[in-house]
Structure 1
Amino acid sequence: MKKVVNGWKRADGERRITALKLEVDYELATLYEAMLENDEEKKNECKQRLEKLRQELIRLSI
């Protein structure tokens, strides 16, 4: 039973990592647009979201 649960958790974690990578790509594109527009508020928001995503990726990768 433990093997089944661990396998399920691992698969779920791998799916979340994939989703996080897509979210990071989207945020990077949004940050790029903010940089082109010279929108400081939008840049800071993107940087904060990217930091949260980075921390979650690190937590899931360990």
Structure 2
Amino acid sequence: MLTPLTHELVSWADIIFVMERRTAPKASLRKARVICLDIPDDYEFMDPGLMRLLEARVSKYLG
């Protein structure tokens, strides 16, 4: 189930990660940078392969 992003949910964010471009927010966000990780949403919740992939792709943005 997708939870739509609202102003309240992202007002504190500097970076928003999405797995697929189709899930990126459509509205312009003044503060937050949106980064698409280009990971298909084909994984089960907490799948070990997904966790490794997320860690590898997100870590370069978080320093």
TM-score bracket, shorter-length normalisation? 0.3 to 0.5
- Larger CA Rg, structure 1 vs 2: 1
Provide TM-score, normalisation by structure 2.
Answer: 0.33
Provide TM-score, normalisation by structure 1.
Answer: 0.33
For CA contacts below 8 A with separation 6 or more, give which structure has more relative contact order.
1
1 or 2, which has the higher helix percentage? 1
